[in-house]
Amino acid sequence: MVKRIRIRTMFIGGCITILFFILLVRIFWVQVVDASFLTEKAKETWSTTVKLDAVRGTIFDRNMNTLAVDAPAYTVAVNPKRIHDLKLEEPIAAKLSEILNKPVPEVMALVTAKKKDGTYYDQREVREEGWKIDQGLADKINTYIDELRDKVGKNADVGIYLLKETKRFYPNDSLAAHLLGYTDKQGKAVTGLEAFFDKDLAGIDGSISYDQDRKGYKLPSADEIYKPEKDGKNLVLTLDQNIQHFTEEALKEVYNKYQPISATAIVADPSTMDILATANMPNYNPNKYWETKNQANFYDHSIKSVYEPGSTFKIITLAAAVQEGYFNPNETYMSGQIKVSGWPKPLRDHKRGGWGEITFLEGLKRSSNVAFVKLGYERLQKEKLGKYFEDFGFGQKTDIPLFGERAGTMRLDSNVDVATASFGQGGVVVTPIQQVAGVAAVANGGKLMAPRLVKEIIDPTTNTTTKIEPTMVRQVISPETSRKVGEYLEQVVSDQKIGTGKSAYIEGYRIAGKTGTAQKPKKGGGYEANKYVVSFIGYAPVEDPKLLVYVIIDEPNDQYVGGGSAAGPVFKSIMSQSLRYLGIEPSSKPKQETEDETKSEGKPAKPVAIVPDVLKLKIAEAKEKLTNQGITFDTIGKGSNIVRQVPDAGTPLAQGNRVYLITEDPKNITMPDMKGSSLRDVLEFCTLLDISYTITGEGYVVSQETTKDGDKMHVNFKLEPMTGEKSDPPPK
C-alpha cells in the first residue's frame, strides 16, 4: 500500500513538475520570444488612430474669386434595428425616397437590412443619392427628423442620421467646368486642373494616436502620437470669372441657335498667353457630374479636338509672307482658280470665277484661297512654309497644364498638301489652343508664348507663394512684321463692303481678325459635301493688343452659314463686353446718336470721321494716317504717291464707306474684270475713274464689254442674281 502511494505521489509530482516546466517555457516564450508580436496585438486592442483630413486647396480666378473649394457635406444613414423597433419602415422609406429621389424599393432594402444571423444592422449609409448631400437636402432631412420626433418623443432616436463630411464645391456650377474639372465623391480628382495639380491641391492627411479603455475613452496617462495634417495648396488662375461668363453666355446662344456638334471659345491676353476664358458646349455641372449621362459633355475640345482650321490659318501664311517680303498689298493677281503641279483639278476661291484681277490686300479681305496658294505654295514654298508652321507651334503640343492635349499634325508631303495648307486645309490639322498661341504670336510682336493657366501657387502651411511667370518659347517674326500684319487684318474687319470679318466690327475699336469656313474631312478620305467647321479669330486693339478671341463651331445645322455670319457675332459679343469690362478705351471716339439722328429710310448715314488730306503722301504714310482714324480704304494704281483721293479732304465719311487712293493718272489705269462684283462696286469704281457705263439686269456682274472713243472709256455691264456657293473641297 505504501509503495503504491509513493508511486502515485511521484507520478503526480512528476506531472506537476512537467506542467510547471511547460508553464515556465510558455511564459518565457510569451514574454521574450513573442513579446513584440503580442505587444502589437495588444496595442491594436487598446490603441486607436484618428485620421485628420487635409483640406483640399481652393482654386481662385485672377481676382481671387472662388472657383472651387471644400465645403461641408452630409451623408444620410439609417438604423434598421431602431426603425424596426419603431415600426416606421414604410413611411421612412417613402419620405427618404421623395427627398433623395431614390427608388422606394432601394430605400426599403436599406431600412430593413439584416445581418447573416438574422439580426438588424445598426447603421447603413444611403448611397449614392444620400452620399455627401448639400445643406439644402440636409435641411429637408432634419425637418423630417423633427416631424418624426413630434410623434415618437422629443429628442428620440428615430433611426435617421446625418454624418458630417466635406465635399468639393463649385460655387458657379458649370462655369469653366472643362477647365476646372471635378473630383468624384470619393475625393479622387478626375479631370481638368483638379487632376493636373492634384498633388498640390490634395495636401497630406494627418493623424492622432492614443490608448483607450474598453469603452473607447482615452486613458488619462496615455501618450499621444500626433502627426499634423498639411492642407493642400491654393491655385490662383489667369482666368477672369467675368470674361468667362461673357464667353459662356455668347457660346450658349450660338449653340442653341445652330445646334452644332460642339462650340468652343478661348479668350487670351496675347502678350502673355494668359488664358482669360475657355469654354465648350455642350457643358456639365461638376457639382452634379453624375447627372450628366452623355460623355461628350465632359470633352474639352479646346485641347483635345483637332480641326482643319480653314481661312483663320491664313493669318500664319500671311505673317510668314510679310516676314519674307513676299506680300505686297498693292500687287495684283488673277483670282478665281490656280493650278498646282501634280494635281489634276485647279484649286478655287470660295466664289466661283473669283473677283477678276485684284490686289493681294483685297484677296486677304475677300479671303481668296488663290492669293494664299500664291503666297504659300509658289513663293514661300514647302521648306520655308513648313519651318514657319513649326516655329508658330503647329504639329506640337503647347504644354498647357492639362491632361489630354493633342499635338495636331502637319503633312506637307506633296505639292497639293503645301498649297492647301497655305489656306488652312488638307495638310494641316490643329487644336484650338494651338491656333490661339500661333495668332497671339502674330499679335504680340512675334513672340510665341506658352499658354499660362496658373499665376500663383499659395502654400497655406508655410504662407509662401510660388509665382509662375509667362514663358516665351521663341521669336517667330519681327515686331515690324507683327505691326504690318495687324494693319492688314484690321481691314478684313473694318471694310464693311468686302471684308469677310465685317460682322466683328466694333465701333471705336481697331479690330484685327479673320474668318474661317472649312469643309470637314471624311474618315476614308475626301470631304463631306455639306458639313463645315466655321470659326473666327481676332484681337484688339490693333495698336496694343490686350485681348484675343477664338470661336469655333463644329458642324452648325445650317450648311450655308460661314465663319463671318455664325462665329463673328459671338466674337463681337465676347470682345465688346470684355473690352468695356477691362476699361480699355476706344481707339477713336464713337459716333453719338440722338433720337433725331436715328436711322430711317431715306436718311443719309451719319458721318463717323472727317476724311484727312493725304494727297502727295507716300502710300505708307497715307495708309497710317487713315488707319489711325479708323478709316478703311482701297489703293488703286501702281504708283508710290497719292495723286488723287476720293472723297476729298474734309468730307464727312459715313459708316461703311471708304476712301479710294489713286496712285497714277486714271487714264493709265486699265479697267479690271468686275465679274462677281455688286452694282455698288461698279458704280463706285466707274465714278471714281470717270468711266461712263451702262447697266443691264440686277444682282452681280456676269459679263462686261469695254469700248473706247479716243481717251473716253465706256463699259457695258450685265448683272444677274447669284446664289451663294461654298468653295470646292480641297484635295485629301
Going by C-alpha positions, the residue among 497, 500, 503, 477 that lies closest to residue 489 is: 500
CA-to-CA distance for 5 and 25, rounded, in angstroms?
30
Residues 6 or more apart in contact with residue 648 via CB below 8 angstroms: 611
**Other beta carbons less than 10 A from residue 642's beta carbon:** 22
Judged by DSSP in three states, 562 sits in: coil
Residues making up the chain, counted from first to last = 732
Cell numbers standing for residue 581 = 469690362
Which residues are registered as beta bridge partners of 354? 356
Cell numbers standing for residue 592 = 453719338
Q: Scanning the structure block, which residue is given the C-alpha cell 465663319?
A: 563
Q: How far does the chain reach from its first CA to its final CA, in angstroms? A: 119
CA 559-678-365 angle, 5° bins = 65
β strands within 94-184, DSSP E? 124-125, 160-169
Going by C-alpha positions, the residue among 322, 411, 415, 414 that lies closest to residue 373 is: 415
Q: Which DSSP helix (H) or strand (E) runs through 533?
A: strand 527-540
- How would you class 127 by CB atoms within 10 Å of its CB: exposed for 0-12, middle for 13-18, buried for 19 or more? middle
CA-to-CA distance for 143 and 86, rounded, in angstroms?
19
Q: Packing angle between helix 381-391 and helix 314-324, nearest 10 degrees?
A: 110
CA-to-CA distance for 281 and 490, rounded, in angstroms?
29
**H-type helices in 392-460, by residue range?**
415-421, 432-443
Residues 6 or more apart in contact with residue 296 via CB below 8 angstroms: 262, 282
β-pair type (124-125, 66-78) = antiparallel
Catalytic residue among 311, 422, 494, 503: 311
Which residues are registered as beta bridge partners of 208? 50, 226
Write the single-letter amino acid at 224.
E
Q: Scanning the structure block, which residue is given the C-alpha cell 484650338?
A: 432
Q: How far is CA 36 from CA 23, 26, 77, 446, in A?
A: 20, 15, 40, 70
Residues 6 or more apart in contact with residue 245 via CB below 8 angstroms: 175
Which residues are registered as beta bridge partners of 513? 538
CA-to-CA distance for 214 and 689, rounded, in angstroms?
106
- How would you class 676 by CB atoms within 10 Å of its CB: exposed for 0-12, middle for 13-18, buried for 19 or more? buried
Going by C-alpha positions, the residue among 202, 204, 211, 201 that lies closest to residue 228 is: 204
**DSSP conformation class of 303:** H
Task: Calculate Rg over the CA atoms of the chain.
Answer: 38
422 is catalytic: no
Cell numbers standing for residue 330 = 498693292
Write the single-letter amino acid at 174.
S
Q: How far is CA 691 from CA 168, 642, 666, in A?
A: 73, 20, 9
Residues 6 or more apart in contact with residue 80 via CB below 8 angstroms: 110, 111, 112, 113, 114, 120, 121, 122, 124, 159
Which residues participate in catalysis according to the annotation?
311
